[in-house]
Structures are given as structure tokens and as C-alpha cells.
Copies of this chain bind each other. A is one copy, B any other.
């Protein structure tokens, strides 16, 4: 028992997403319980984690990697409706299927919990529900923020908005300011970007070239972006140069 408990502490204690995931407020005993119903799983880039028709037997936290939530119309048009990043939660308690296809964009490492026992734990652990509510409200705000991008922004503003999100995330990680040079790796292909932005890949390509030509961004290669001045990028995104950027 002692051994098990120690093992858990080592595992969860070292976990990168420990302080942000659903389990962030769990105490040792709750982590013990979680440990009995959890397993880790790796999904290769491009593989489907869950599909709309199929039942799903687990819920999970993304530990590393990126996954996309995709909606598809019969004729093949697709729209990415969300991006799952490390610490994000997969699955909806109380439902046995997902509302959109979840596809691994990069290799994804997940901490999975068997659905049924997780829901039981949820039922007797209010703070878990609280955490889930917090996360869901954040997701909702992000989704609505993105609705403005999809509904009202031009192609150039859309690209700038997407890059602003990546730049913002990178800036937070490296504690940089809006005046500093920020750089980040582009984990999405042109096609994935077009699906996220409601554009075609040609338009994505053209607008990226245009931003590059105008010196808003530098592109040492196709998957790496350097932003000399974040405020300028934010202006291009149609945002106030300080606020309004989620995720």
C-alpha cells in the first residue's frame, strides 16, 4: 500500500499538467482513487481519438501533444471547433459518445480514466465538478471568442488572430512582453489552419505570405514563426493591442 501510494505521488507529483488539469485540486487519497481507474495511452499524429458515431469508454486529460475537435458536413466541409492542449479534458461525463471527432494533431499522450468509475468519483467529489465547471466555462469563452473570428474577421485578421494566440501562449510560457520578439513552432499544417479559420489552404498560404512580406512576421521555415512585435500583430488581428486574446 505504502509503495503504491508513493508510486502515485511520484507519478502525479511529477506530472506537468498536475496544477491545471481536472485533478488539480485533488488530495492524495483522491489521487489514489484516480490511480486505480486510470491508464496512459499514446495516440500517433493523425489518428482519431474518438469519433461521433462510436461509443467512448473513457474520459481523459491531455498530458502532452495537441488534438483537434472537428465537425464535418456530409459533403466533406470541415470546421475545427476547438483545440485540445495539455491539461485539457476529453469527453463529457454522462454521455457515451462525443459530439465531434477528436483527432490527434501531433502525437498525443493522454491520462485516461475509465468512464463509469470516474463518474462515480465525480458524484461524491464536489470540487472535481467545480474544476470541470471552471474548465468548461473557459472553453465556452474561448469558443465564443472564436465565433467573432469566424463570423466577422477578414482572412488576414483570421491568420493574425491565430498567430496571436500562439504568440500569446509562447509569451506566457517564456514571460515575454508585447514589445519583445516572440517565436513559436507552428504545430498545425496549412490545412488544419484553414479548417480552424474557415478558409481554404490557398487563402491561408496567401495571407501568411502577405504578413511575411509586410514584416509582421518572419518565417525561417514553414513551421516556425517569429513575431518581432506582438502589438503590431494584435493590431493586424483587429484586436485592441492589449486584451481580447484567449487560450
A interface residue numbers (CB < 8 A to B): 69, 71, 73-75, 77-79, 81-82, 92, 94, 99-100, 126, 129-130, 132-134, 136-137, 139-141, 143-148, 150-152, 197-198, 238-240
Contact = CB atoms under 8 A, between A and B. Distances in A.
Q: How many copies of the polypeptide does the oligomer hold?
A: 2
A151 B150 contact: yes
A74 to B, nearest CB: 6
A92 B147 contact: no
Contact of A75 (B99, B133, B238): B238
A80 to B, nearest CB: 8
A92 B152 contact: no
A145 B71 contact: yes
Contacts of A238: 73-75, 77
Contacts of A71: 144-145, 147-148
Given A77-B152, A92-B137, A126-B126, 10 more contacts: A69-B144, A71-B144, A74-B238, A79-B147, A79-B148, A81-B148, A99-B144, A99-B145, A126-B129, A150-B150
B240 A144 contact: no
A144 B81 contact: yes
22 contacts: A71-B144, A73-B152, A73-B238, A73-B239, A75-B238, A77-B152, A78-B152, A79-B152, A81-B147, A92-B137, A94-B134, A99-B141, A100-B144, A126-B129, A129-B130, A132-B133, A133-B133, A133-B136, A136-B137, A140-B140, A143-B143, A147-B150
